[in-house]
Amino acid sequence: MTSDHFQGRYEVELKYRLHSKSDFLNTLSQIPHEVMHQDNVETDWYFDRPDGSLHAENKSLCIRTVEPSNIQLWIVKGPEPDRCEATNIADFSNALSMLDTMGFEVVLKAQKTRSIYFVEEFHITVDSLEGIGDFAEFAIMTDDESKLPVYRSQLEALAQQFGLTDDALQTKSYKQMFVESRAS
């Protein structure tokens, strides 16, 4: 088990809504896998400029804390759908202060409970979003953009082992889901 799973400029990610988290975990127990962590609480602070220009450019800037694993990340996604970079940060408060100094504002604070598993070179996250539902993300990160279509096919095949089909595929980001749930 290594953090190499999270290295790269691109991320192929397929997200599925789970009808039964327990059935999903039962299937996972039948497949060789490693556990990175289980039932951590992730808190995401999403930032944008006052004019909303990051959102308009299809970019996302997030600072994440993971407890009790004591992980702190700076995450940038977009503008391309598969573009994603993350790096560890040592001082969460200082990172928040730096973003504030540069004129960024918190536009959303959201929490989820997440477990991360490794199946071969892929990582699977099982997420619970209060009031929204349970999800599984099948993903891999890479610096090789030419591998994105191959990885997408391999991830689809892996998801099929769990009985997941295109009907359960989710194209909205968690950020979009949180915003929509708060608007209703």
Q: Which pLDDT value is given to residue 135? A: 98
Look at the chain and report how many structural domains it folds into.
Answer: 1
- Which residues are the active-site residues? 46
Check residue 5 and give its pLDDT.
58
3-state secondary structure 94-139: HHHHHHHHCCCEEEEEEEEEEEEEEECCEEEEEEEECCCEEEEEEE
**What residue numbers bound the domain in which 177 lies?**
3-183
For residue 157, the domain's CATH number is: 2.40.320.10
- At 76-105, the pLDDT tens digits run 999 998 898 899 999 999 999 999 999 999
- The string of pLDDT tens digits covering residues 123-138 is 999 999 999 999 999 9
